[in-house]
């Protein structure tokens, strides 16, 4: 549930989705409070002040110790009280700041994570509430120019305001904010000690999740002059008539027994490099199709990113764009780019395969252009073969995909798209977060609604396995406005060579085999399975024992009993882990029941955060503890944080279920999880149940 309070010229209005609020005093003072809060931030830190003045963007902390220690009449105390009125599932009391920061961009956003207590009416159960609140300001003058914040004058040493009430009221009317509070968790607590434990853990988690500076652009649109130079794709009548009512590039190539390496969904991370991923995916899909899978190479997004250059003019000949013209200069690709510019450079300078320049997520100022493995073939675009499709030309877009393969499409991204999971996306949120580029790979229809199929670059946990469907025919989020593609030049190297099972041809005409395949043509399976894994019955893969995963069972998440004191019923759980991917905020969390079961809450105060990809973590528990009405077992799940996308928005989490741990109250022994160790620090061997199976 999202509670939203909009402050406009000192007055307050509640969104229609919310129940009415009678007390408006806390809300009405919010704009003035935020003036002082933002001023305090600028005064505390020279870098923060510089960022605010120069509009370069940045991140600065606000002291929760200060906010929590001020006297009741202080503006910061009034801020917490005002937020309390709009925390979902209220009313709440004892609101405390857990973490606070401000993203200093042209759209300032103050983020405060708060904790509060709540007593349910008619019950003596007390709960600890955690919520994240944001205050953002984004407004323009009547002429469309940005209007920046007005500040009251203040004595920095004493905090005393140096203006009278009328002057302060005038400042309030110059500023407006949108305030939103979103519930993060509710957890019952038993006593003050338990409450303090929940507050401490929530504070640690909130600090880990402090927002990063927003990237407002991942895609740079072409100028009108540049667009005019690009030839328009003109499909023949026969091609349009041959185009089917539904199509999917991946499924089409599967009918030819070809699985292109470019089909693996990628993750651009926090770099604004969507354009390089769209350019690479469209190009690589078309290369794979044009060669019927022989050139099964995914072009390196990083090579495109590192070598990003931009300029105002294109060189043209015979109505075709044939390359850059004039002065083109290197640009930081993490600040945005355009697929068409990338393809123009590929007419002159080929790009390497993905394996030759793995993605690092930084621009060419750090990951230099040309720092690639030298044994990769260089992939180029045919001279003059880049095209645009007329805006909103549905028949032209479908014909372009059907004729040659995926295309690159620009789109506007709204907040609801960043968290979209499944179905056909139709914009339902007005909060635009930036421009984006994706590869468009097909189209279809479901329930009478036509849709486009896109391949995104936010990892496989976004949307439908990394793919998405967007309503077709309505120019939804401007997805049909700016569509481009390039025709790959088939490499001339190694004309007699081919590689099987997803292998790629290298510059010396040898094969670079995929996965666990090996041999001259990648037809030999050389799987060496680790940690007790065995060869799968088909294909070339490993079947891993419980708790192990990865290509060779090299990754693991193990949960086991470590220590136990029968007299106090206190036990220690140890987790050992080794992960190929890790992001801050990853943690072990406990559920009340088997993961995935209906009505299954998390157990408050039990999360254990990890700080590295490999290591161990522990938690001390009372083996008798369980929520009333749920099994007396410890159901833990590992929650892998997937980090943030280029707009600063969380990409969500990936969950991995762990075998439950259990205390048998009748036999007074332990079971479940993975087999305990007998090394130093473990003392549970004698306490393990005789019927425990590992």
CB distance 154 to 161 below 8 Å? yes
pLDDT of residue 143 exceeding 60, the answer is: no
Give every CB contact of residue 107 below 8 A, 6+ residues apart in sequence.
136, 137, 138, 214, 216
H helices within 325-367, ranges in order?
Answer: 339-348
Q: Average pLDDT of 416-444?
A: 90
**The pLDDT of residue 534:** 93
pLDDT of residue 23 exceeding 90, the answer is: no
**The pLDDT of residue 579:** 95
Which position has the higher pLDDT, 314 or 666?
666
What residue spans define the domains of the chain?
Answer: 2-208, 224-489, 549-687
Q: Average pLDDT of 110-134?
A: 79
- C-alpha span between 504 and 112 (Å, rounded): 49
Taken in order 410, 415, 421, 427, the sign of the CA dihedral is negative
**pLDDT-derived band at 98, boundaries 50, 70, 90:** confident
**The pLDDT of residue 137:** 56
Q: How crowded is residue 356: how many other Cβ atoms within 10 Å of its Cβ?
A: 23
**pLDDT-derived band at 383, boundaries 50, 70, 90:** very high
pLDDT of residue 361 exceeding 90, the answer is: no
Give every CB contact of residue 226 below 8 A, 6+ residues apart in sequence.
312, 313, 314, 340
CB distance 213 to 33 below 8 Å? no
**pLDDT-derived band at 19, boundaries 50, 70, 90:** very low
Most confident of 6-15, 244-253, 427-436: 244-253
SS3 166: helix
- C-alpha span between 506 and 420 (Å, rounded): 39
Tell me the two tokens of residue 486: 């390039």
Which position has the higher pLDDT, 79 or 458?
458
Reported CATH class of domain 224-489: alpha beta
pLDDT of residue 374 exceeding 90, the answer is: yes
Q: Which helix (H) or strand (E) holds 193?
A: helix 192-208
The residue with tokens 């254990």 is 608
pLDDT of residue 664 exceeding 80, the answer is: yes
Q: Average pLDDT of 672-677?
A: 94
Q: Which helix (H) or strand (E) holds 542?
A: strand 542-543
**Residues forming the active site:** 274, 436, 456
Least confident of 115-129, 426-440, 460-474, 549-563: 115-129
Residues present in the chain in total: 694
Q: What does the pLDDT look like over 579-592, one tens digit per residue?
A: 998 888 899 999 99
Short-list 283, 262, 411, 412, CA closest to 344: 283
Give every CB contact of residue 418 below 8 A, 6+ residues apart in sequence.
433, 458, 645, 647, 649
Q: At what angle do helices 46-54 and 30-44 cross, to 10 degrees?
A: 120
Q: Average pLDDT of 342-364?
A: 93
CA–chain centroid gap for 24, Å, is 36
- C-alpha span between 227 and 483 (Å, rounded): 11
Average pLDDT across the chain, whole number: 81
The DSSP code for 644 is: B
SS3 572: strand
Q: Which helix (H) or strand (E) holds 77?
A: helix 75-84
Q: What does the pLDDT look like over 36-61, one tens digit per residue?
A: 444 333 333 333 322 222 222 233 44
**The pLDDT of residue 10:** 25
Most confident of 7-16, 137-146, 218-227, 642-651: 218-227
pLDDT of residue 213 exceeding 60, the answer is: no
Q: What does the pLDDT look like over 491-515, one tens digit per residue?
A: 999 999 999 999 999 999 999 999 8
**pLDDT-derived band at 165, boundaries 50, 70, 90:** confident
User: Percent helix, strand and coil across the chain, each rounded to 5?
Assistant: 20, 30, 45
Q: What does the pLDDT look like over 65-79, one tens digit per residue?
A: 777 877 765 656 666
**The pLDDT of residue 312:** 76
Which position has the higher pLDDT, 285 or 168?
285
Q: How does strand 653-657 pair with strand 517-518?
A: unpaired
**The pLDDT of residue 44:** 35
- C-alpha span between 17 and 582 (Å, rounded): 38
Least confident of 152-156, 357-361, 459-463: 152-156
% of the chain exceeding 90 in pLDDT: 47
Which position has the higher pLDDT, 597 or 658?
658
**The pLDDT of residue 646:** 61
**pLDDT-derived band at 300, boundaries 50, 70, 90:** very high
**The pLDDT of residue 574:** 96
- C-alpha span between 576 and 448 (Å, rounded): 50
Alpha-carbon dihedral angle through residues 139, 145, 151, 152, given to the nearest 10 degrees:
-100
Most confident of 82-91, 195-204, 336-345: 336-345
Q: What does the pLDDT look like over 531-580, one tens digit per residue?
A: 999 988 878 999 999 899 998 999 999 999 999 999 999 999 999 999 99
**pLDDT-derived band at 126, boundaries 50, 70, 90:** confident
Q: Average pLDDT of 674-693?
A: 92
Which position has the higher pLDDT, 567 or 114?
567
Q: Average pLDDT of 249-253?
A: 97
Backbone conformation region of residue 112, classed left if phi is above 0, alpha if psi is from -120 to 50, else beta: beta
**The pLDDT of residue 102:** 59
**pLDDT-derived band at 29, boundaries 50, 70, 90:** very low
Q: Average pLDDT of 151-173?
A: 60
Which position has the higher pLDDT, 597 or 28?
597
% of the chain exceeding 70 in pLDDT: 78
Burial class (CB in 10 A: 0-12, 13-18, 19+), 656: middle
pLDDT of residue 652 exceeding 80, the answer is: no
């Amino acid at each position: 549930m999202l509670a939203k309070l909009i402050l406009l010229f000192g007055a307050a209005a509640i969104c229609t989705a919310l129940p009415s609020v009678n007390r408006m005093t806390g809300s009405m003072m919010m704009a003035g409070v935020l003036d002082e809060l933002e001023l305090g931030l600028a005064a505390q830190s020279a870098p923060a002040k510089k960022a605010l003045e120069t509009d370069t963007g940045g991140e600065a902390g606000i002291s929760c110790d200060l906010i929590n220690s001020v006297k009741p009449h202080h503006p910061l105390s009034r801020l917490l009280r005002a937020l309390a009125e709009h925390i979902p599932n209220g009313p709440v009391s004892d609101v405390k700041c857990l973490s606070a920061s401000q993203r200093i961009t042209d759209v300032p956003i103050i983020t405060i994570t708060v904790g509060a207590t709540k007593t349910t009416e008619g019950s003596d159960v007390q709960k600890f509430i955690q919520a994240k609140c944001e205050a953002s300001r984004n407004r323009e003058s009547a002429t469309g120019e940005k209007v920046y914040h007005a500040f009251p004058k203040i004595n920095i040493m004493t905090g005393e305001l140096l203006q009278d009430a009328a002057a302060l009221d005038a400042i309030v009317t110059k500023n407006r904010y949108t305030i939103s509070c979103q519930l993060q968790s509710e957890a019952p607590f038993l006593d003050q000690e338990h409450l303090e434990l929940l507050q401490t853990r929530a504070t640690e988690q909130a600090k880990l999740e402090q927002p990063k500076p927003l990237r407002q652009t991942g895609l740079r649109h072409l100028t009108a002059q540049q667009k005019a130079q690009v030839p328009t794709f003109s499909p023949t009548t026969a091609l349009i008539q041959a185009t089917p009512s539904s199509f999917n590039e991946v499924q089409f190539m599967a009918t030819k027994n070809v699985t292109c390496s470019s089909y693996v969904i990628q993750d651009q991370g926090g770099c604004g490099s969507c354009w390089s991923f769209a350019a690479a995916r469209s190009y690589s899909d078309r290369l794979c199709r044009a060669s019927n899978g022989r050139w099964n190479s995914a072009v390196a997004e990083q090579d495109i990113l590192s070598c990003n250059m931009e300029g105002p003019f294109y060189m043209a000949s015979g109505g075709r764009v044939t390359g850059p013209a004039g002065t083109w200069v290197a640009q930081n690709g993490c600040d945005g780019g355009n697929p068409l510019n990338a393809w123009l450079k590929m007419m002159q300078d080929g790009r390497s395969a993905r394996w030759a320049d793995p993605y690092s997520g930084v621009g060419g100022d750090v990951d230099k252009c040309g720092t690639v493995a030298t044994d990769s073939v260089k992939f180029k675009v045919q001279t003059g073969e880049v095209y645009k499709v007329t805006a909103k030309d549905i028949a032209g877009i479908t014909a372009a995909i059907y004729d040659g393969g995926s295309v690159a499409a620009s789109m506007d991204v709204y907040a609801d798209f960043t968290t979209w999971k499944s179905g056909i996306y139709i914009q339902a949120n007005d909060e635009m977060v930036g421009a984006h580029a994706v590869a468009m790979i097909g189209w279809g229809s479901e329930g009478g609604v036509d849709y486009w199929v896109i391949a995104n670059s936010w990892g496989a946990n976004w949307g439908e396995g990394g793919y998405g469907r967007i309503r077709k025919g309505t120019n939804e989020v401007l997805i049909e406005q700016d569509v481009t593609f390039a025709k790959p030049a088939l490499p001339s190297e190694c004309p007699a060579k081919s590689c099987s099972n997803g292998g790629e041809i290298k510059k010396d005409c040898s094969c670079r085999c995929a996965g666990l395949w090996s041999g001259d043509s990648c037809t030999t399976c050389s799987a060496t399975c680790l940690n007790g894994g065995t060869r799968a019955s088909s294909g070339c893969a490993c079947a891993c024992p419980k708790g192990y995963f990865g290509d060779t069972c090299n990754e693991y998440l193990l949960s086991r009993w470590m220590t136990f004191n029968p007299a106090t019923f206190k036990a220690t759980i140890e987790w050992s882990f080794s992960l190929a991917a890790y992001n801050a905020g990853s943690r072990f969390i406990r559920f009340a029941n088997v993961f995935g079961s209906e009505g299954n809450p998390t157990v408050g105060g039990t999360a254990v955060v990890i700080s590295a990809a490999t290591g161990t973590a522990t938690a001390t528990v009372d083996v008798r503890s369980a929520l009333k009405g749920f099994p007396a077992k410890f159901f833990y799940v590992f929650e892998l944080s997937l980090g943030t996308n280029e707009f600063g928005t969380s990409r969500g989490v990936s969950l991995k279920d762990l075998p439950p741990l259990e205390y048998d109250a009748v036999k007074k022994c332990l079971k479940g999880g993975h087999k305990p160790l007998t090394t130093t620090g473990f003392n549970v061997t004698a306490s393990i149940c005789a019927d425990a199976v590992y």
